[in-house]
Structure 1
């Protein structure tokens, strides 16, 4: 009669030992396979440098979200009228959902007229007290004329009051992956509760371009007339930079001069955000120089083709020990034209992946670093299915994970 215990002489013991060795080294080729593919495309050399007078700045490529340059990009500052991008995004979202229509007319309350209209002496679309203005015109008033009244009128109509609308803006920011931004009003007028980073402003700008291409066209319109008052678009890039078609400027005493800008050249779109500058000329120059530097020095390179295996994930309890991982779309990254970029790719996932694994199952992310920055990241999926393994295979995997856990625990005590 056998006891069922494993002994060094048993066949099962030998298979478990072999399984342990395989499990202990299964993760090592994971990053290596991806690294090897990327390193073959680019030589490991030092990055080129750039600086700007802007206290906070960021430059990204719109398609991939790749960061080309950043400076104090996570520092919270007053976003001033750049915050109106969040206001109009909430309205765009409501329009897309069918909750409101462009033809809906909203009344100009005394509050919005007095605090945001002509009596306030700040940027306004000059909407007349107690008049009714269609949503389509209010959006142009907010985007082209930077009308504080435009934003307040929409906020009051959609949520009943501006404070409730500001809370909705903050909730919407969290849903869009902006964890730091907070909003106290709809216009960006001075308030300690209005805070954004240039990184999150760039995230928001990229989202607007991708999610609302038809509405985005408004940002490139050169002028808008309301109440017989014609006003020019306040974005200086529209007249000074080839391919510029958005976004928004802003200024408050607390935040300084800032702007979000975007332009397309040679089928590549870049987004720039600068904030905290001392004059309108300074912000225009800083934004333009960053965009020109990006277009001049970077180009798009393909790192992995769509559906190309970028690496492997370890599978627990499967009839195979690993599964190939693919990105559905090509993984592209902006690299310096002079070839001075070191690219490294790594696959990040919670593993091992529990069998059974279905083809197309989301597994993790492939992240590509350019120097010290994450240039792009994309989801990866199981290339094919992996079935459940035999009892012996599951036992080997279980023992292997146990031993790896014990080894890590022991190493942590050293």
Structure 2
């Protein structure tokens, strides 16, 4: 779609000709689910998205997210050796099969967490990063709060059942979006089908990695309390979707539930760029500035997730603050860019300055001060 062109007043654009109607979203056998567009964060379909449920091994997405954050910050290196404690070795459930007192690289442990879903590897990483599982859980909760995961609370790095350990389908989709956007260099890890450690070759439990070439992550989980869970992402024709499914009844069903959601989302929805980021949308007057005007626009592209071939008339309105006074550093919010479908506001984004506007000389500031005084009186 061609970006909305700016004129003196509201402007409009029309998407391609309409289909009669988008079918209703699919109904699944799972207890809770979300399908999100990875670029815009738009929720395309959901059921009980904010219900607090046991996340099982989906918890390990947060464990790896924190680990990769430590790597990016330089506090860890992929080849750093981690000494395996008895506590990590004794952790039950799915395992990487590490041995006590051995030294294993951070990179190998990350593979063991993602592909083998190794609880032992997750505990080993948590102890290396924070000193203990409890301290690491504190980091997990701080990170969840920062990401806006309002229905999540973590008690351990593994997802093994424990009271007060929960998350939601929506929160897990938000976490997956953060993994994809914040840590792209590490995202290919989630597409690995196998990992071998200690002579034991284990497969990734995400069945869609074998069925669907567009799927490239993320993580599965299962406990009796949680049922079968999976967070998945796929990219087709340059557009990426994220699904989070909680409480499917079997490994096969969680894969088919996810497949159903992805088929629906890619078939009936698309992203449309409504305006280019950093394009000059207005040049309002600036008081007391070295320049009389400043270019303003959006900091990044404005993209919406919309039904395919929908027919909507979009009106874009530039709303500027009534009085702009220098200095105005680049990126200063000076108004809003509002997009309407008829009378319904679809989205509002801040308008920012696209260039620095320093103060003018003292005489210019004095004269503009006088002009501003009289302008406010009349």
Whether TM-score is above 0.5 comes out as: yes
Does the Cα contact within 8 Å between 1:74 and 1:199 map onto a contact in 2? yes
Matched-pair contact (CA < 8 Å) for 2:14–2:314: no
Is contact 2:299-2:331 (8 Å) kept?
Answer: no
SS of match in other structure, 2:180: helix
Once residues 45 and 35 of structure 1 are traced to their aligned partners in structure 2, the CA distance between those partners, rounded to angstroms, is: 30
Equivalent of 2:61 in 67, 76, 85:
85
Correspondence for 1:174: 145
SS at 2:299 equivalent? coil
Q: For residue 303 of structure 2, what is the aligned residue in structure 1?
A: 332
**Residue 76 of structure 2, aligned match among 89, 93, 100:** 100
Structure 1 residue 359: deviation in Å? 6.1
CA distance in 2 between partners of 1:34 and 1:273 (Å): 44
* More helix as a share of residues: 1
Instruction: Judge conservation of contact 2:277–2:300 (CA < 8 Å) in 1.
Output: yes
Partner of 2:85: 109
In the TM superposition, residue 72 of structure 1 has moved relative to its aligned partner by: 2.6
Deviation at 1:338, TM superposition (A): 3.1
> Does the alignment pair 1:51 with 2:26?
yes
Range 131-140 or range 324-333, more displaced: 324-333
Highest Rg: 1 or 2?
1
Tell me, which stretches of 5 or more residues in structure 2 are unaligned? 1-5, 360-364
Q: Aligned residue for 2:218?
A: 247
Query: How far off its partner does 1:343 sit?
Result: 5.8
Q: What's the RMSD between the two structures over aligned residues?
A: 3.7
- Kindly tell me: are residues 318 and 340 of structure 1, through their superposed partners in 2, closer, same or farther at Cα, counting changes over 3 Å? same
The answer to whether the aligner puts 1:262 opposite 2:233 as a matched pair is: yes
Query: Which residue does the alignment assign to 1:362?
Result: 332
Instruction: Extract unaligned runs of 5+ from structure 1.
Output: 1-31, 401-414
Offset from partner CA, 1:183-232 (integer Å, 9 cap, x none): 11000111232222222212211121122222111110110011111100
1:205/1:279 CA distance change after superposition, 3 Å: same
Moved more, 376-385 or 201-210: 376-385
2:47 is the alignment partner of 1:76: no
Tell me if structure 2 keeps the 8 A contact 1:247–1:262.
yes
The answer (yes or no) to whether the contact 2:15–2:311 under 8 Å persists in 1 is no
Q: Distance in 1 between matches of 2:196 and 2:375?
A: 74
Distance (whole Å) between structure 2 residues aligned to residue 148 and residue 135 of structure 1: 14
Query: Which secondary structure does the structure 2 equivalent of 1:339 belong to?
Result: coil
TM-aligned CA distance change 1:190 to 1:376, over 3 Å: farther
Deviation at 1:150, TM superposition (A): 0.7
Deviations 1:336-376 (A, max 9, x none): 22315676767799x656523626333166566889x9987
Match of 2:97 among 126, 131, 146: 126
- The 1:239/1:288 distance shift into structure 2, 3 A limit, reads same
1:63 to 16, 29, 39: 39
Conserved? CA contact 2:16–2:309, under 8 Å:
no
Structure 1 pair 311–205 and aligned structure 2 pair: CA distance change class (3 A): farther
Q: Could you tell me which of 268, 275, 283 is aligned with 1:297?
A: 268
1:155–1:161 CA contact under 8 A, matched in 2? yes
Q: Secondary structure at the match of 1:203?
A: helix
Q: Secondary structure at the match of 1:57?
A: strand
